[in-house]
Chain A
Amino acid sequence: MGAAPQDQAPGRGEAPYGRYLAYLQAGQLAYQYSTAAARPVFFPRVRCPYSGRDCLEWRVSQGRGTVYSTSVVYPRKGEPYNVALIDLDEGFRMMSRVVDVDPHAVRIGHKVAFRVAQDPEGGDPVPEFTLLEQA
């Protein structure tokens, strides 16, 4: 049961999350695009989940999107905060948060823009979003 020869061993830095993280560290929101299925793929994977083929290319999002759904989490300690699902204009969805605004003011359908947030505790940077001025 040997590995298929076209498989690229996902070594350190080449693992899907490693590539994604490297883009984030460079200030970019990256996603994969399947040339076989002609559609974006997110979260990043070792191969295209639509075809099983080795046909994923990395692309960089323009970072504009729309709030697909939103919640406000009430922790036992501390202030309520936003958790949202964002549909990026390129056609993929991700979890993130909308910041610099009252978490209850975030509405489904709001247009948002990506930025990188550094983790104050030294963890990996993450994507977060701010509201674009509503038309």
Chain B
Amino acid sequence: MSNTFHRGAAVIVGAAESDLGAVGEACSPIDLMAQGVYRALDDCGLRIDEVDGLFCATSQSRLAGLALAEYLRLPEAYIDSTSTGGSSFMGHLVRAQAAIAAGLCDVAVVAYGSTQRSLGRKQTSRAEWNPYESPFKPFLPPTAYALAAARHMHQFGTTREQLAEVAVAARQWALRNPAAWEKTPLTVEDVLASRMVSHPLTIRDCCLVSDGGGAVVLAAPGRAAQLAKPPVYLLGSGHCTTHQTISNMPDLVETGARVSGAKAYAQAGLGPADIDVLGLYDAFTINTILFLEDLGFCAKGEGGAFVSGGRIAPGGALPVNTNGGGLSYCHPGMYGIFLLIEAVRQLRGECGARQVPGAEVALAHGNGGVLSSQYTVILGGAATL
């Protein structure tokens, strides 16, 4: 397969969230998607009529690309509304850069919106019947991640306390992010004593159910050079789909992040030691442990010990999920866009109390389905191009 990736072929110039949290039943997912687009354009100083590429996904719209083109009145825009679940937006980012490089568009937006908190999860992400799984009533997605967590605990001695450390670290970061949903401290004991959802995961091992949306803007280098905000570049990416359903995951303790991460590192010419700030799709506490292992930050099986003692919390050796993550900041169902927004802000130095000093390289790792789709992107500032 030929590699058409050209570092610097496009520039990430804008990033913004829509309203987050609980927006009310009257708000539509496309309202939030469009609000994210307008704010991300305001962030970089581009106008809506300069946008000619739309990349978007949401579980609440079967034809999300058409809905966004209609809302924004962009009839001729190039459209890609591929869905790989929560990892969709990493794919959109990569293909937006490729589309700009191929001359299909000059200014692309990658956008998401969801009102799953206000409408209720059952209405917004209807489960598809699978005769090999649905009759056993797994509570999806939590049960799938619980099965992975149970296996990790069995093979490596990982404990529920270590899983809880992930939630505690995320909460500590969230307390430094004014946009985060959660506003009060959390302890390991709180996590363990919370309502059990699917053993061994309690409600505090699970992500939030919130509303929210957001967008990032990419532009061709010539256009980007006229803009005020510091440029952010896509340095490398990789993707791997190991399965869709959890009963078909080849190994519950090794995700496709091993492959997607290796591809992204190779393309970027970088390794784990070069990453200054890390965003890992933490839909559940086990995710962070699995991805730290599979992306090479610790050995397989050592993730539980690795996250203990505040290593990934504020002040720890490795800053992970500095926005507070899906666990404590925001999780409207497909969280990947928020990893991209936070990576851009960290690389620009815009993160205030949670800023990682001098961050030059960020890794954002998206997850879709039930550990099914793994999509790694590595981003860097001007010094890394």
Contacts and interface: CB of A to CB of B under 8 A. Distances in A.
B146 to A, nearest CB: 4
A95 B247 contact: yes
Contact of A72 (B135, B199, B252): B199
A43 B132 contact: yes
Interface in A58-76: 68-75
Interface in B236-257: 245-248, 252
Interface residues of A, number: 27
A96 interface: yes
A17 B154 CA distance: 33
Nearest to B139: A73
Interface stretch (B76-84, B175-183, B190-198, B327-335): B190-198
A30 to B, nearest CB: 12
Q: Which of A71, A104, A123 has the most CB of B within 10 A?
A: A71
A94 interface: yes
B147 A70 contact: yes
Interface residues on B, range: 20 to 34
A47 interface: no
Nearest to B250: A93
Contacts, number: 77
Nearest to B145: A71
A71 B135 contact: no
Interface string A116-135: 00010001101000000000
Interface string B181-210: 000000000000001111110000000000
A51 to B, nearest CB: 18
B136 A71 contact: no
B248 A43 contact: yes
Q: Which of A69, A80, A81 has the most CB of B within 10 A?
A: A69
A108 interface: yes
Q: Which of A17, A72, A104, A119 has the most CB of B within 10 A?
A: A72
Contact of A71 (B133, B154, B199): B199
Contacts of A119: 135
Interface of A: 17, 21, 43, 68-75, 80-81, 83, 85, 93-97, 104, 108-109, 119, 123-124, 126
Interface of B: 131-133, 135-139, 143, 146-148, 150-151, 154, 195-200, 245-248, 252
